[in-house]
Amino acid sequence: MLLAALMSIASISLLIGDVATSPSALVAYLSGEGSEFHIILFETIRAPRIVLAAMTGFVLGLSGAAIQGFLRNPLAEPGILGASNGAALGAVIAIYLGLASTVSYWVPLASAVMALVSVAALMAVAGQGASSLRLILAGFAVSAFAGAGIALALNLSPNYFAALEIAFWLLGAVENRSWLHVHMALPGAVLGCLLMASTARSLNALALGEEVAQTLGLAMRNLRARIAVGLALAIGAVVSVTGVIGFVGLVAPHLVRPYCGHMPSRSLLPSALLGAILLVLADTAVRSIPTGTELKLGVLTAFFGVPLLLLLLRRPGALMSDA
Partner 1 sequence: MLELKNISALTPETSAQKSILHDISCRFEAGHITAIVGPNGAGKTTLLRAAAGLVPLSAGSIHLEGCDWKDPKTRARHLAYMPQFQNIAWPLLCRDVVALGLLPHGFRDDGLVAAALARCEATQFSDRSIDTLSGGEQSRVFMARLLVANAPLLLLDEPTQSLDAAGAMGLMHLLRGAADEGAGVGVVMHDLNLAQAFCDHVLVLQNGVVRAKGAPRDVFTPSQLAPIFGVEFDVMAVGDARYLMPTL
Would you tell me which residues interact with partner 1 (CB under 8 A)? Answer: 72-73, 201, 204-209, 211-212, 214-219, 257, 261-264, 317, 321-323
CB of 126 to partner 1, least distance (A): 14
Instruction: Return the CA Rg of the chain.
Output: 20
Cα separation, 3 vs 246, whole angstroms? 22
Query: CB-wise, 254 or 296, nearer to partner 1?
Result: 254
Q: Shortest distance, CB of residue 131 to partner 1, whole angstroms?
A: 11
161 Cβ partners below 8 Å, 6+ apart?
none
Residues 267, 255 contacting (CB under 8 angstroms): no
Nearer to partner 1, 183 or 201 (CB): 201
Residue placing its CB nearer to partner 1 in the complex, 63 or 157: 63
Q: Which is nearer to partner 1, 261 or 290 (CB)?
A: 261
Q: How far is the CB of 48 from partner 1 (least distance, A)?
A: 37
CB nearer to partner 1: give 264 or 305.
264
Distance CA 295, CA 289 (A): 8
Rounded Cα–Cα distance for residues 117 and 127 (Å): 15
- Distance in Å, CB of 261 to partner 1, minimum: 5
* C-alpha torsion sign, points 298, 303, 304, 307: positive
Cβ 253 to partner 1, closest distance in Å?
11
- Given the complex with partner 1, which of 109 and 260 has the nearer CB atom? 260
- Shortest Å, Cβ 184 to partner 1: 36
CB of 249 to partner 1, least distance (A): 18
CA distance 276 to 49: 12
For partner 1, which is the closer residue by CB, 27 or 212? Answer: 212
CA-closest candidate to residue 320, choices 257, 236, 266: 257
Please report which helix (H) or strand (E) contains residue 165, including its range. Answer: helix 160-171
Which residue type, as a one-letter code, is found at position 292?
A: G
Dmax (CA) for the chain in angstroms is: 63
In terms of CB distance, is 183 or 221 closer to partner 1? Answer: 221
Is 280:248 a contact under the CB 8 Å cutoff?
Answer: no
How many Å apart are CA 45 and CA 300, to the nearest integer?
20
Minimal distance, residue 73 CB to partner 1, in Å: 8
SS (H, E, C) 196-247: HHCCHHHHHHHCCCHHHHHHCCCCHHHHHHHHHHHHHHHHHHHHHHHCCCCC
Other CB atoms within 10 Å distance of the CB of residue 6:
21
